[in-house]
Amino acid sequence: MSTQAVNSWRDQLVDFVEAPFFVNFITGLILLNAVTLGLDTYPVENEFLSRMAPVIDTVIVTVFVFELLLKMVAYGPRFFKGGWNWFDLIIVSISLFPDAGAFTVLRAMRILRVFRLFSVMPDMRKVVEALMKAIPGMGAILAVLALMFYVSAVMATKLFGATQPMFETLGASAFTLFQVMTLEGWAMEVARPTMEQYPFAWLFFLVFIVLTSFAVLNMFIAVIVDSLQSKHFDEEEERNAKMEAEAAADRDDMQAELKAIRDELKALRAELSNR
């Protein structure tokens, strides 16, 4: 078989695996699998459902494996150059491990198949890619937050640890301050009991909340929003560049056609003058 025939056959297979009906079919299977795995957490007394659930799960995994094999054949070596293809391959590979023996813990990881929605739905994929792009900036913010936590935990242990069990050790102080940062019951469960023995403790908690919950955590949002905007601008630039390339190709085609028409007119005039 010639190289051109192989490429044509692969192009047809690529069109098939990227066709909307095929993508929608895989998306529907992922959602169905999410429902069946969720139902598996409930005690089902119906004998029919108890027998059908493993069968449905096996059929879905088989379809996923077949889908990956189709993509490997269609894309060839290009398949292993895509990060999302590796993501799908790892998720589906986990599903192939047995549910007994040393692999029993992997049974709970079957729900990771639902994450395949990231790879089949472009909008979700864009959000995940933007989050991954924001990780370097988030790392610096995490370092600042960790430093604030360490300093605050040491101060809280020194200030309140003598009488308050929730600040007795560095680890206990860090956990308590994490609760304060989340604003979950911090006033009634942490601040007010501490203020009964340390009336000015409210000042420490207010400064900590302002620095962590209102300042540093909002920086996370700013970095993520900036990453999403950058992703959007990059897509706009890519779309504009594609449109410009298509317009340039159209202009070249038009110029070639006009040149051909001119050549034909010249030939026709030459023929008429010779007559």
How far, rounded to the nearest angstrom, does the alpha carbon of residue 266 sit from its chain's CA centroid? 61
* Alpha-carbon distance values, 71 to 13, 186, 228 (Å): 8, 52, 29
Mean pLDDT of 82-92: 83
Domains of the chain: residue spans and CATH: 3-120 (1.20.120.350), 126-256 (1.10.287.70)
**CA 157/CA 140 separation, integer angstroms:** 26
Mean pLDDT of 185-201: 89
Burial class (CB in 10 A: 0-12, 13-18, 19+), 180: buried
Stronger pLDDT, 58 or 8, i.e. the higher one: 58
213 phi, psi to nearest 5 deg: -65, -45
Whether the pLDDT of residue 196 is over 80: the answer is yes
Mean pLDDT of 198-217: 87
- With bands split at pLDDT 50, 70 and 90, how would you rate the model's confidence at 155? very high
How far, rounded to the nearest angstrom, does the alpha carbon of residue 58 sit from its chain's CA centroid? 26
> How confident is the prediction for the chain on average, in pLDDT?
80
Give residue 54's pLDDT: 77
Whether the pLDDT of residue 260 is over 70: the answer is yes
Out of 75-84, 105-114, 151-160, which region has the weakest mean confidence (pLDDT)?
Answer: 105-114
Give residue 93's pLDDT: 83
* Alpha-carbon distance values, 15 to 11, 23, 222 (Å): 6, 11, 39
Mean pLDDT of 100-129: 70
Mean pLDDT of 162-182: 90
Give residue 236's pLDDT: 67
DSSP state of 42: S
Give residue 237's pLDDT: 67
Q: At what angle do helices 201-209 and 170-181 cross, to 10 degrees?
A: 60
Mean pLDDT of 68-81: 86
Stronger pLDDT, 146 or 221, i.e. the higher one: 146
Mean pLDDT of 215-241: 73
Stronger pLDDT, 269 or 159, i.e. the higher one: 159
Mean pLDDT of 243-266: 78
Out of 43-52, 55-64, 199-208, which region has the weakest mean confidence (pLDDT)?
Answer: 43-52
- With bands split at pLDDT 50, 70 and 90, how would you rate the model's confidence at 176? very high
Stronger pLDDT, 274 or 33, i.e. the higher one: 33
Give residue 49's pLDDT: 66
Structure tokens belonging to residue 83: 């990060």
Whether the pLDDT of residue 105 is over 70: the answer is no
Give residue 150's pLDDT: 92
